[in-house]
Structure 1
Amino acid sequence: MFDTLSNLKTLNLGVQGAGLNDNLLLLKLLIEKNRVKNLVLQLDNNIEGTEPSNISNAEALPFIRSNKIVKLHEENYLNNFETKMYIPFYRYMIYDPKIGFRELFMSVMGKNPRIALEDGFSPKFGTINKKGKYALPNTRPPRKNFILDKIRAICNENNIKLFLFTAPYCENLGNPEYIDFLKMYYPNLINLSKGFSNDLFYDCGHLNAKGADTLTINLYSILGNQLQ
């Protein structure tokens, strides 16, 4: 949909549960062989973290021997890097719920993985239970995050326009003032956290398919004239 609206080639690299450190690694890998003009990055309470998530660790670790970008990144940020690098199969065992020996075996056998890799979007269907609630931290967000600073530096070095946005939350969101403080620290933050009715949500923190369409249209209407 964003391709159609913008007449640009876009790539969805969003991963549920990923943090800014994971986004940093994806950006490094992306610019290695691609020319990137715009980066639209979600910012919310992920500003609290600087470490790689289990998602990134599990999906990146199989490549620490074969990909120099992954190796250098994990070497800088991953706890017990040497152990996971040099003990055979250790990294597969500790992240088995995410990597899975089944996935490893099927890869060796040339079979397709469980996850379809040709599309970055997996729509959710259904409507939020009105009793469902989600709360942001009841403290102010940190004013700085050194991983976000690294992302911004890479964008500046590569002439990439960086846009920060906050995705919608349901009407039952707790501590919504957290986003107000975030907006204060980052005045250019595109705040789309409010104004989406509950029928557009699968749960309080995730839009359903209709909500995703609405978000895409709203985001493009704000970004349209600013995209390179």
Structure 2
Amino acid sequence: MKKFLLYILGVFILTISIAVILDGLYTYVFMQSRNRGKIETVFNSTAKKYDVVILGSSRANNHFVSQMFEDKGLKTFNYGISGGHLFEASLILKLMIERKYEIKNVILEADLNLASDRQAEGIAALFLPYIHNSEIIKEHYRNQSNFNELYYIPFYRYIKNDSKIGWRETFFTAIRKKTNSLENLGYHPLEKHKNGNMKNNIVNLNPLPNNKYYEEIKDICKKNGINFIAVMTPMCENVVGMNYFDKVKKAYPEIYNYENTVIENKYFSSCGHMTDEGARLFTARIIKDFFNK
């Protein structure tokens, strides 16, 4: 029995040792990354200056044409992340402030994502390699139900999120293989597809009152002298339940409603995402309303 217990103890110690070593190796790789994705690029960056920073989900990533702002002399980057929620948008802005970014204007896409204050697990995972190297990230995650496992169990966060920060992503990061997420100043243009989903039902969607992460973003901007512009972006003409945007306006009267600026289906790749042509019409309107004064 004693030999058996010693054997089990040895296996346990070996497993923990391997996990600690792998955790350190994976983390080291991600700590060197500066040109693969938006999150690691911000985390590993130093102070930058922007006239316009764009935050939000895919409805920011696909709807704000950064170059059109640049053409007006406004240094701009679209940090919208497809699949992201306000949880991630708030955290990436916190990291920018920590790195002493000078930002004049933040444009936040705030519409459908106001209905949730949960993390988008696939996107939130991209912050996890840095959780032991950043008090900002640590505190942002502290109230999550799985914080203890993620923070205290070595290598657990990499195993749990293998599809996002596992071996494959670590390898591509190590060899500095680029993605297209940083192209076009962060803007991702879409094309019209004949099989695009041109129907959407948001009847049961309701914005949360005082969404925690929306309020965080607004408060960060106020404390740092950043002009905060929150907007609702367009959806196609087939959407059922468009009174959702009226609900948002009632709960958050400071948010500008642009959901009907572009409505024709020909300008949409799917019902919630405009084509490049539609995005350019929309971006021109935003520039005219906020930056041509």
| TM-score, normalised via structure 1 length | 0.88
Change over 3 Å in CA distance of 1:56–1:170 after alignment to 2 = same
Specify the alignment match of 2:107 in structure 1. Answer: 40
2:131 is aligned, of 35, 45, 64, to 64
Letter of the 1:93 counterpart: I
CA shift, 1:190, in A, is 1.7
SS at 1:52 equivalent? coil
CA shift, 1:113, in A, is 4.1
CA shift, 1:98, in A, is 2.3
Change over 3 Å in CA distance of 1:111–1:141 after alignment to 2 = closer
Q: Distance in 2 between matches of 1:129 and 1:105?
A: 34
| Percent of paired sites with the same residue | 33
**2:83–2:123 CA contact under 8 A, matched in 1:** no
- 140-149 vs 10-19, which moves further: 140-149
Specify the alignment match of 2:200 in structure 1. Answer: 134
Segments of structure 2 that go 5 or more residues without pairing to the other structure are 1-66
**1:155–1:162 CA contact under 8 A, matched in 2:** yes
CA shift, 1:114, in A, is 4.1
Q: Distance in 1 between matches of 2:169 and 2:225?
A: 38
**1:127–1:208 CA contact under 8 A, matched in 2:** no
Segments of structure 1 that go 5 or more residues without pairing to the other structure are none
SS at 2:145 equivalent? coil
Change over 3 Å in CA distance of 1:83–1:139 after alignment to 2 = closer
Per-residue CA shift, 1:156-182, capped at 9, x if unaligned? 111111111011100101100010121
SS at 1:104 equivalent? helix
Radius of gyration: which is bigger? Answer: 2
- 47-56 vs 212-221, which moves further: 47-56
CA shift, 1:59, in A, is 0.6
Change over 3 Å in CA distance of 1:114–1:102 after alignment to 2 = farther
Specify the alignment match of 1:28 in structure 2. Answer: 94
Per-residue CA shift, 1:80-104, capped at 9, x if unaligned? 2121123222111211222241111
Q: Distance in 1 between matches of 2:205 and 2:283?
A: 30
- 80-89 vs 133-142, which moves further: 133-142
Specify the alignment match of 2:64 in structure 1. Answer: none
Q: Distance in 2 between matches of 1:131 and 1:102?
A: 31
SS at 2:81 equivalent? coil
1:158 aligns with 2:224: yes
Specify the alignment match of 1:186 in structure 2. Answer: 252
| TM-score, normalised via structure 2 length | 0.70
Matches within 5 A, 1:1-228: 1-32=67-98, 33-75=100-142, 77-108=143-174, 110-118=175-183, 119-127=185-193, 132-138=198-204, 140-194=206-260, 195-225=262-292
Residue correspondences, number? 224
Q: Distance in 2 between matches of 1:59 and 1:219?
A: 30
Specify the alignment match of 2:10 in structure 1. Answer: none
Letter of the 2:112 counterpart: N
Change over 3 Å in CA distance of 1:167–1:116 after alignment to 2 = closer
Per-residue CA shift, 1:18-69, capped at 9, x if unaligned? 1111111011011222011111101112112112211332110011122332
Letter of the 2:114 counterpart: I
Q: Distance in 1 between matches of 2:206 and 2:162?
A: 36
Q: Distance in 2 between matches of 1:212 and 1:131?
A: 17
Q: Distance in 1 between matches of 2:181 and 2:74?
A: 23
Q: Distance in 1 between matches of 2:97 and 2:280?
A: 27
**1:55–1:98 CA contact under 8 A, matched in 2:** yes
